[in-house]
Structure 1
Amino acid sequence: MFLEPLIVAPVQVQVHLIAAIIALTLGPINLYRRSRDIAHKVLGYIWVGAVAVTALSSFLISGIGIIGPFSPIHILSLWALWGMWQGVSHIRAGRIHAHSATMRAIYWWAFGVAGLLTLLPGRRINGMLFGEREVVGLFVIAIGLAALGLRAVSSWRSGRQS
């Protein structure tokens, strides 16, 4: 792992990456533990905050500007922000299943797809993880997309969302 691309990155990229790492780490802990206690609520607040910072900070980062400084990946940021609002609204209204499904969908789709796109050759995370072997990122993306696809089919067949 080569940390130099992160160390020399602009502050908004560093904030974005740190928030994303927090969200990626806390996500499975909070989304898949059995107990829905005070720890779940506290971790949930932290997770929602980390997702919001990740999504909002993405608008300060431009790479492939298709519409001004924005690219298609920014659609995922809008979707994550909308999903966070929906998920919080669901739990406040007592719709536990909808809350759970929404939060899990955000974790797997917004972070899964966006995370995989960071592995494209030429991207900062690709360079940090694979160095000169940029093409390895394409194989990881293919495996990740296959896993997301299998998860979607499995969820659809069992009647669950996310």
Structure 2
Amino acid sequence: MAANAAFAIGTVQTCAPKRTLRPKQLGHLWCVLMLWTALSGFLIYDIRLRGAFSPIHLLSVPALVEIYVSVTEARRKEVARHRKPVIAPYSGALLVAGVFAMLPGRLMHQLLFL
């Protein structure tokens, strides 16, 4: 649910005309949802590549780093440098992980398509 909400907020933030939303408040909410999503990814062990590690763990670590960098740049008022670390977890972690979550046999596929 956190990933879906973060995806929706990210889409709204990306597509909305400039200065029409409250980007700071939505950004705070998006960061909390992304942190929740990335941290909960470490609790997923369905698909194991090596030992207890799954592909989602490979997305969670960079997402946490990018969120940290994004928040740091936003606090410094470096808007241009803030955008790239925001877009990376939005496109990488949410879209890529979303595709894998919707594969047949996965829980999200069953919930949405069956």
* Same structural fold, with TM-score higher than 0.5 when normalized by the shorter chain: yes
Smaller-chain TM-score bracket = 0.7 to 0.9
Cα distance between partner residues in 2 of 1:85 and 1:32? 23
Given that 2:44 and 2:54 are in contact with CA atoms closer than 8 Å, whether structure 1 keeps it comes out as no
TM-score by length of 2: 0.88
Which of 103, 106, 109 aligns to 1:123? It is 106
Cα distance between partner residues in 1 of 2:38 and 2:50? 18
Cα distance between partner residues in 1 of 2:30 and 2:112? 24
Residue 29 of structure 1 is matched in structure 2 by 12
Cα distance between partner residues in 2 of 1:114 and 1:65? 15
Which of 106, 109, 112 aligns to 2:89? It is 106
Cα distance between partner residues in 2 of 1:32 and 1:100? 14
The alignment's C-alpha RMSD in Å is 1.7
Write the mapping of 1:89-100 to structure 2, written as runs, cut at 5 A.
Answer: 89-100=72-83
Cα distance between partner residues in 2 of 1:99 and 1:32? 17
| Letter paired with 1:35 | R
| Cα shift readout 1:60-101 (whole Å, capped 9, x = no counterpart) | 121012233221221111111111001111112222112112
Unaligned segments of structure 1, at least 5 residues: 1-17, 132-162
Measure how far apart 1:36 and its partner are. 7.2
- Greater Rg over alpha carbons, structure: 1
Unaligned segments of structure 2, at least 5 residues: none
The structure-2 alpha-carbon separation of the partners of 1:60 and 1:50, relative to structure 1 and needing over 3 Å to count, comes to: same
Write the mapping of 1:49-128 to structure 2, written as runs, cut at 5 A.
Answer: 49-128=32-111
